[in-house]
């Protein structure tokens, strides 16, 4: 049987490999989400539960003009929906139950096919493109986020893959139309992922600059670095302008709700700056927990495993509890330090003056710390879902690629491929 999408060669046509990879993605998706076809089953959605999206207040297409969410008491104002892929699916599927059944698997298929297009544009062979598409759709933590109710994040990854593909095409021919298409994809990423899309756009900008700088080296033309950088800056401007136009509605919402007034009234004192820093970094990934990117579940997965009704099942969930420190209030460490000192006094009532002497702080600050100990339960100890991960095999392959790109004895890669890998 001739299956072009599983070929270790790169065929001249793209339609058959594309259709084959799409069929594989659809089959895998149907297997994983088979329960969606049961009449009384829908996918869980934390951020868009059935009761919420079934209300008249957010009925399509009225939400594109803004709406008042009146589900809870008097309700609250909501910004208008962004005209992106996620909302387009809502407009097409219409029915809330159908939307919750199909939206997540469709978004994952879109991610897989976008990744296939990127790998194909890179010049990889058919089998590698198919494996890459499956890995992008089902290997990363994006699957967990999608099943939690955030399939739009998988669309942010998808649009980033598409933007990268059009940038690669721009390096070969028709740079400005392809860069404009890349900008549209970046704009879609902003509409789908908001802050995540904005972070990804920085990598896209760096990729454009990188491509224009190495292009003269690949063609053998001696072009001044300044001239190449200038073309790169213009390329970034084209992508940014197109992205801004495509996502103008979302950008106005993002700026109005997330940026304006976010730092007003914070003050310039050291204490105010520290408080602001703690607030901004409380949900960041601690340095030691970066190992979770390599080893999935190294610090546990969720706060609620094992659940009470899971304990009698044959598959044990012991050890699933997340024990890292993402989301942990910075005051927790200070409170634990105070508790250790109080314990050292062997249950004797500790006066603020005694605590102040041991810790080297003022009596007033010691008294405040003792108050914090009493209200320790009100501070968030930690909070996490699945965590970010790429997987051990993926990271090992990437590490091997870097080693082969750096060594000079074996020429496995072309000069361009080496630069791309190191980038």
Q: Give tens-digit pLDDT for 196-216.
A: 888 999 999 999 999 888 877
Q: Which of 81-90, 396-405, 411-420 has the highest mean pLDDT?
A: 396-405
DSSP string covering 304-354, please?
T-S-GGGTTSSS--TT-B--S-TT--THHHHHHHHHHHHHHTTTPPPPHHH
Q: Which two tokens stand for residue 86?
A: 């996620």
Q: What is the DSSP letter of 302?
A: B
CB 83 within 8 A of CB 89: no
Instruction: Judge if pTM exceeds 0.95.
Output: no
Range scoring the smallest mean pLDDT among 157-171, 277-291, 347-361: 347-361
The domain limits of the chain are 13-256, 331-378
**Per-residue pLDDT at 308:** 58
Q: Is residue 77 classed as helix, strand or coil in its secondary structure?
A: strand
CB 253 within 8 A of CB 194: no
CB 21 within 8 A of CB 133: yes
Give the position of tokens 């095999």. 393
**Per-residue pLDDT at 314:** 47
CB 146 within 8 A of CB 158: no
Residue in 201, 121, 126 with CA at minimum distance from that of residue 157: 201
Report the chain's mean pLDDT, rounded to a whole number: 81
CA atoms within 13 A on the CB side of 17: 25
Task: Please state, in angstroms and rounded to a whole number, the distance separating the CA atoms of residues 335 and 422.
Answer: 44
């Amino acid at each position: 049987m001739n299956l072009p999408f599983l070929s270790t060669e790169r065929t001249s046509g793209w339609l058959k490999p594309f259709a084959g990879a799409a069929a594989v993605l659809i089959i895998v998706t149907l297997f994983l989400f088979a329960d969606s076809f049961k009449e009384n089953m829908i996918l869980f959605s934390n951020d868009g539960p059935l009761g919420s999206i079934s209300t008249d207040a957010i009925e399509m297409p009225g939400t594109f003009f803004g709406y008042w969410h009146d589900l809870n008491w008097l309700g609250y104002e909501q910004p208008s929906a962004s005209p992106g892929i996620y909302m387009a699916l809502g407009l097409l599927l219409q029915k809330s139950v159908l939307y919750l059944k199909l939206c997540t698997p469709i978004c994952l298929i879109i991610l897989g096919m976008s990744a296939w297009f990127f790998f194909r544009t890179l010049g990889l062979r058919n089998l590698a493109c198919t494996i890459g598409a499956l890995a992008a759709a089902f290997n990363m933590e994006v699957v967990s986020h999608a099943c939690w109710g955030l399939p739009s994040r998988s669309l942010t990854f998808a649009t980033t893959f598409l933007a990268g593909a059009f940038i690669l095409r721009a390096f070969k021919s028709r740079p400005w139309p392809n860069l404009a298409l890349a900008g549209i994809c970046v704009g879609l990423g902003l509409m789908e992922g908001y802050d995540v899309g904005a972070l990804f756009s920085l990598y896209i900008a760096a990729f454009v600059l990188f491509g224009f700088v190495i292009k003269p080296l690949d063609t053998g033309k001696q072009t001044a670095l300044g001239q190449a950088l200038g073309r790169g800056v213009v390329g970034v401007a084209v992508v940014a302008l197109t992205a801004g136009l495509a996502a103008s509605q979302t950008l106005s919402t993002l700026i109005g709700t997330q940026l304006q007034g976010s730092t007003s009234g914070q003050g310039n004192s050291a204490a105010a700056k520290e408080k602001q820093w703690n607030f901004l970094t409380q949900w960041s990934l601690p340095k030691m927990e970066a190992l979770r990117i390599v080893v999935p579940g190294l610090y546990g997965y969720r706060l609620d495993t094992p659940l009470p009704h899971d304990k009698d099942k044959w598959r044990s969930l012991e050890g699933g509890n997340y024990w890292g420190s993402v989301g942990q209030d910075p005051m927790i460490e200070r409170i634990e330090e105070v508790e250790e000192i109080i314990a050292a006094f062997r249950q004797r009532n500790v006066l603020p003056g005694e605590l102040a002497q041991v810790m080297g702080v003022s009596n007033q600050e010691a008294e405040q710390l003792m108050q914090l100990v009493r209200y320790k339960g009100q501070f968030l100890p930690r909070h996490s879902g699945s965590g970010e991960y790429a997987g051990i095999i993926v990271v090992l392959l990437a590490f091997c690629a870097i080693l082969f790109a750096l060594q000079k004895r074996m020429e496995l890669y072309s000069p361009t491929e080496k630069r791309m890998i190191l980038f």
